[in-house]
Amino acid sequence: MTTSVGNPGSTTAEYKRSPSHFTDRITADGADGWPVEAGRYRLVVSRACPWASRALVVRRLLGLEDAISLAVTDPLQDERSWRFTLDPDGRDPVLGIAFLGEAYAAREPGYDGGISVPAIVDVPSGVLVTNDYPRITLDLATEWTALHRDGAPDLYPEPLRDEIDEVMEDVYRNLNNGVYLAGFAKSERAYERAYRNLFACWDRLSERLAGRRYLVGDTITEADVRLFTTLVRFDAVYHNHFKCNRNKLTEDPVLWAYARDLFQTPGFGDTVDFDHIKRHYYQVHTDINPTQIVPLGPDPSGWLTPHHREELGGRPFGDGTPPGPPPAAEEIPARGRADAGSGA
């Protein structure tokens, strides 16, 4: 998610997402100059951002908390970029910076492009390594294997990669990014096109998941992670704020049960902060919500209700095991958890 105050995108009627500018990779062989190394890198995220949330989930599932440290930004950014105002003295305690943009400037002096999360920063130099969100999670799954926890799942199994990639492309084009195409559209025609493509994809996914527990194979894969981070924001934000209002997630029996199944799986729901999510979208996108009023609902406690998806079989972690509880410092504050109620 790129820093923006107001309605981001181009001046054309259709919203255009900017590609990642810094695409170096951290690999086992260090081919791009960035070798996998425990403790060297810091993952910077906003819990509000669906793209950053992918990295949060994957890091938890693979047990990489001790290998790559975590910095969480304030959900409200300003024109200077994502801020570390949640930390003492308004600075990240490891990187020593007040704004993520400082790491971007250290990488490329004079850089004036978007400042996006997730981002990985080299701690010794303070230089940004990558903001390539689609690649970050795939590399955590495939290049960081020497540092995975015992029992870590294979989120990108080689025999299924073609199918996973195909499903993820449909999900990205029409749903992950589709909600933004609808929400930031500047003409009725652009909005309606995005809306129709979004819900056509929605219906394909609902049909696909009616008889199978997960999107590809019988275990959780990267495809499920990428779909989850959009679905968990849908009723709280996208349905109303982005006008994706044909139906709510809670009104689709298949996708609602699927999303609850994942939410209740260790590594998913324990990374979700509904407070950060709502405050970011409703208070930062002032072109869409000029009053900056944050709705109290919907009541998130429904995420904890029985889903019965286990009746479809499947093995969430394959031959592996669930991750343990999150580190105490990374627990979601009470006001952002699903057991916090609607705030009414």
Q: Establish whether the linkage from the previous residue to 298 is cis, with ω within 30° of 0.
A: yes
CA 136 to chain centre: 12
187 close to 94: Cβ distance less than 8 angstroms:
no
Residue that has been written with the tokens 């609808």 in this structure: 182
Packing angle of the helix pair 222-233, 50-62 (nearest 10 deg): 130
State how beta strands 127-130 and 119-122 pair: antiparallel
Task: Give the residue numbers annotated as catalytic, written as ranges.
Answer: 49, 180
Report residue 90: phi and psi, to 5°: 70, 25
CA dihedral 5, 11, 14, 17 (to 10 degrees): -50
Residue that has been written with the tokens 């809670």 in this structure: 250
CA angle, 198 then 20 then 288, to 5°: 50
Cα torsion angle, 144, 149, 150, 152, sign? negative
Report residue 69: phi and psi, to 5°: -75, 165
Taking CA atoms, 158 is separated from 70, 151, 164, in Å, by 28, 18, 10
One-letter amino acid for residue 11 of the chain: T
Which string of DSSP letters, residue by residue, matches 249-266?
Answer: GGG-HHHHHHHHHHHTST
- Residues paired with 128 in a beta bridge: 121
| Number of neighbours of residue 142 by Cβ within 10 angstroms | 16
Which string of DSSP letters, residue by residue, matches 271-283?
Answer: G--HHHHHHHHHH
Cα torsion angle, 322, 324, 326, 332, sign? positive
